[in-house]
Structure 1
Amino acid sequence: MPLHSLIHNPRNARQNMEGVEGLAETYETTGVLQPCLVISVETFRSAFPEDAEALPSAGYVVIGGNRRLAAAHRAGLATLPVHVSAKLKTREEILVAAATENIAREDLKPFEELATIEELKTELGTYDAVAKKLGKTAGWVSQRRRLHHLQPEIRQALEARTPGMTIELARDLGKLKDRDQQLKAWRDSQRAASRTADPAAGKQSKPKKNKVPAQGGSGDGSGALLEGAAKARREACLLAVAAGAGDLARLAIIAAQAPAAPDEAVALAGQWLTETAVGPSELHLEALHGGEGTDRQKQAALALALAHCELHMTRTSSTDSAHARAYADWLETHTDYQPTDAEPAPTA
Structure 2
Amino acid sequence: MAGAQNDGLSLAERRRRLAAKRAQEEAAANPQGASADGANATPEFPLDSLVHNPRNARQNMEGVEGLADTYETTGVLQPCLVISVETFRTAFPEDAAELPDGAYVVIGGNRRLAAARAAELATLPVHVGTKLKTREDILVAAATENIAREELKPFEELATIEELKTVLGTYDAVAKKLGKTAGWVSQRRRLHNLQPELRKALETRAPGMTIELARDLGKIKDRDQQLQAWHTAQHAADRAANPTPAKQPKPKKNKKVPAQGGPGDGPGTSMEDTAVKARREACLLTVATGAGDLARLSIIAAQVPADPAEAVTLAGQWLTEAAVGSSALNMATLPGEEGTDRQKQGALALALAHCELHMTRTSDTDSTHARAYADWLETHTNYQPTDAEPAPTA
- TM-score, normalized by length of structure 1? 0.64
C-alpha displacement of 1:194: 1.3
Query: What is residue 203 of structure 2 aligned with on the other side?
Result: 159
C-alpha displacement of 1:302: 6.2
Question: Does residue 128 of the first structure (1) align with residue 169 of the second (2)?
Answer: no
Percent sequence identity over aligned pairs: 69
Query: What is residue 245 of structure 1 aligned with on the other side?
Result: none
Choose the corresponding residue for 2:83, options 39, 44, 56.
39
Question: Does residue 66 of the first structure (1) align with residue 136 of the second (2)?
Answer: no
Choose the corresponding residue for 2:330, options 270, 277, 282.
282
Structure 2 gap ranges (5+):
1-44, 245-277, 287-291, 305-311, 320-324, 349-379, 381-394
Aligned pair in 2 of structure 1 residues 83, 188: CA closer, same or farther (>3 Å)? same
Contact preservation (8 Å) 2:328, 2:342:
no
C-alpha displacement of 1:300: 9.1
Choose the corresponding residue for 1:11, options 55, 60, 68.
55
Amino acid at match of 1:223: Q
Within-5 A mapping of 1:296-335: 296=338, 298-299=339-340
Amino acid at match of 2:66: G
Query: What is residue 95 of structure 2 aligned with on the other side?
Result: 51
Contact preservation (8 Å) 1:38, 1:84:
yes
Contact preservation (8 Å) 2:83, 2:107:
yes
Query: What is residue 161 of structure 2 aligned with on the other side?
Result: 117
Distance between the aligned counterparts of 2:71 and 2:163, measured in 1?
Answer: 33
Give CA-to-partner distance per residue, 1:86-115, whole Å, 9 cap, x none.
110000010000000000000000000000
Which secondary structure does the structure 1 equivalent of 2:51 belong to? strand
C-alpha displacement of 1:132: 0.4
Within-5 A mapping of 1:120-199: 120-198=164-242
C-alpha displacement of 1:217: 5.8
C-alpha displacement of 1:215: 5.6
Aligned pair in 2 of structure 1 residues 87, 222: CA closer, same or farther (>3 Å)? same
Distance between the aligned counterparts of 1:147 and 1:301, measured in 2?
Answer: 19
Question: Does residue 106 of the first structure (1) align with residue 150 of the second (2)?
Answer: yes
Paired residues in the alignment total: 248
- TM-score, normalized by length of structure 2? 0.57
Distance between the aligned counterparts of 2:282 and 2:211, measured in 1?
Answer: 17
Contact preservation (8 Å) 1:282, 1:300:
no
Distance between the aligned counterparts of 1:36 and 1:281, measured in 2?
Answer: 56
Distance between the aligned counterparts of 2:342 and 2:201, measured in 1?
Answer: 34
C-alpha displacement of 1:299: 3.8
Aligned pair in 2 of structure 1 residues 282, 35: CA closer, same or farther (>3 Å)? same
Give CA-to-partner distance per residue, 1:166-218, whole Å, 9 cap, x none.
11111111111111111111111111111112469xxxx9x867675746669
Query: What is residue 28 of structure 2 aligned with on the other side?
Result: none
Amino acid at match of 2:211: I
Distance between the aligned counterparts of 1:111 and 1:193, measured in 2?
Answer: 23
Amino acid at match of 1:85: G
Within-5 A mapping of 1:235-250: none
Amino acid at match of 1:135: G
Give CA-to-partner distance per residue, 1:307-329, whole Å, 9 cap, x none.
9xxxxxxxxxxxxxxxxxxxxxx
Contact preservation (8 Å) 2:236, 2:282:
no
Aligned pair in 2 of structure 1 residues 215, 29: CA closer, same or farther (>3 Å)? closer
Structure 1 gap ranges (5+):
225-269, 308-336, 338-348
Query: What is residue 354 of structure 2 aligned with on the other side?
Result: none
Amino acid at match of 1:129: A
Amino acid at match of 2:109: G
C-alpha displacement of 1:279: 5.5
Larger Rg: 2
What RMSD, in angstroms, separates the aligned Cα atoms of the two structures? Answer: 3.4
Question: Does residue 95 of the first structure (1) align with residue 139 of the second (2)?
Answer: yes
Amino acid at match of 1:188: T
* Bigger relative contact order, structure 1 or 2 (CA pairs below 8 A, ≥6 apart): 1
